[in-house]
Amino acid sequence: MANVAVIGAQWGDEGKGKVVDWLASRADIVVRFQGGHNAGHTLVVGNQTYKLSLLPSGLVRGKLGVIGNGVVIDPEALLAEIARVRAQGLDVGPERLRIAETAPLILPLHAALDRAREAARGERRIGTTGRGIGPAYEDKVARRAIRVCDLAEPQTLADKLDELLLHHNTLLAGLGAPVFAKRDLLDRLLELAPLVLPYAEQVWERLDEARRAGRRILFEGAQAVMLDVDHGTYPFVTSSNTVAATAASGSGVGPGAVGFVLGIAKAYTTRVGAGPFPTELHDATGKLLGERGHEFGTVTGRPRRCGWFDAVMVRQAAKVGGIQGLALTKLDVLDGLPELNICTGYRLGGETLRRLPAAPAAQQAVQPVYETVPGWSASTRGARSWADLPAAAVKYVRRIEELVETPVTLLSTSPERDDTILMRDPFEG
């Protein structure tokens, strides 16, 4: 049996929560390997709706959850999320959740700097969540991050805070924002330490033992390939690498342990925040997709921008992200539309492209080239086999496979976990 890595194949919010939940029921361990509490998954289980940001989705199914070293952790947000899901009846304690000792922490000064920078950008703002993710990753790369393991060493905390405050207070003062006092931050971290440290360990060792024992590991990505800091629509991206290769480096396993890579894509396209969006619709159809799809960010609550399926972008995401199969979600949102458009290329000047340019101005300037296909009047909602789908819906899915050059291995037809059509079991490799 293979392990499985799940990543987004668009700009995030593709419905990964349901797919990860469906796969987690058959896994032994679920691992978060990048991002922070700027991303969210919504899971609907019976009459309960769980909104998770840092916690691995497998906890809902009673599986062991692991937060890897590639994740940046706001300890206040983590403890609040644990308390929230416990109130919903989930058993989340150190025996169910393990956290990499080397994961960097997000502190209040990171969020303050994040928000101050966005305010200073004005109309050129990137659209961050303001939760400190980017500044925390900056500190990690600059080798001044406070990590989970540092909570066990008060003197280490004190010394590292001196360096952090020298850097961050200088920036905050320059941006006209309030600065932070060392004593306040140190006291709070020392209060949090006994609450966080029971979850901490060298998770790479646990994952190695699990792999050798033949246990199934599900690697759960946040955001999506087109938000990858290297491969996405830079600078309108997240601050981490979101491709499947990061599942290895972000959790402490070798690349061969990642297994089958499943990419999640909606049957249309959405995006939260600023940045290029070639197929965005500003008309009644775009509004209809948003209303039917309940398109609001899990973390931010911001309405998502909606548009037609962009096969060029998903094809690019599949190739750079290492995607071997697609899970296509929210097909039912397209029910009743007389015609559908699929983006098959971009025009830029006199040239037709089958890739998204790297340069920001070119990304904003491309115009989509559409192929129009028939819609369907019958409902696809709740379909659990190909025979339940209208012929036009089947042709739509098959055309996406051709254009993206990646097979659709799983099809989701409603938020309900069992309303799923499986063509290939990712755990079979």
pLDDT one-digit tens code per residue, 66-81: 999 999 999 999 999 9
Q: Is the per-residue pLDDT at 18 higher than 90? A: no
Buried b (16+ CB within 10 A) or exposed e, 144-168: bbbbbbbbeeeeebeebbeebbebb
- Strand 269-271 and strand 97-100: the pairing is unpaired
Q: Which pair of tokens denotes residue 370? A: 């559409």
**Does the reported pTM lie above 0.85?**
yes
Whether residue 13 lies in the annotated active site: yes
User: Of 21, 28, 37, 41, which is the active-site residue?
Assistant: 41
Question: What is the predicted pLDDT for the residue at 380?
Answer: 94
**pLDDT tier at 44, thresholds 50, 70, 90:** confident
Backbone angles phi, psi at 339, to 5 degrees: -140, 150
Reference 10, options 172, 288, 232; nearest CA is 232
Position 388 pLDDT exceeds 70: yes
Confidence of residue 301 (pLDDT cuts 50, 70, 90): confident
Give catalytic status of residue 425 as yes or no. Answer: no
Rounded Cα–Cα distance for residues 29 and 343 (Å): 37
Compute the mean pLDDT over every residue in the chain, rounded to the nearest whole number: 93
Mean pLDDT score, 24-36: 94
Q: Counting Cβ atoms within 10 Å, is residue 387 exposed (0-12), middle (13-18) or buried (19+)?
A: exposed
From the candidates 13, 21, 139, 310, which is the catalytic residue? 13
Q: pLDDT at residue 299 above 70?
A: no
Position 1 scores a pLDDT of 59
Residue 361 backbone phi and psi in degrees, to 5: -65, -40
Whole-number percent of the chain with pLDDT over 90: 79
Q: Which residue has the tokens 């150190």?
A: 94
Is the bond leading into 235 cis (omega within 30 degrees of zero)? Answer: yes
Residues with Cβ within 8 Å of 352's Cβ and at least 6 positions away in sequence, in order, are 345, 346, 369
What domains are defined for the chain?
4-100+199-260 (3.40.440.10), 108-196 (1.10.300.10), 268-309+329-405+413-428 (3.90.170.10)
- Residue 59 in this model has a pLDDT that exceeds 70: yes
- Compute the distance between CA of residue 98 and CA of residue 209 in angstroms, rounded to an integer: 14
Contact 333, 268 (CB under 8 A): yes
Chain segment 310-352, per-residue pLDDT in tens: 999 999 999 999 999 999 999 999 999 999 999 999 999 989 9
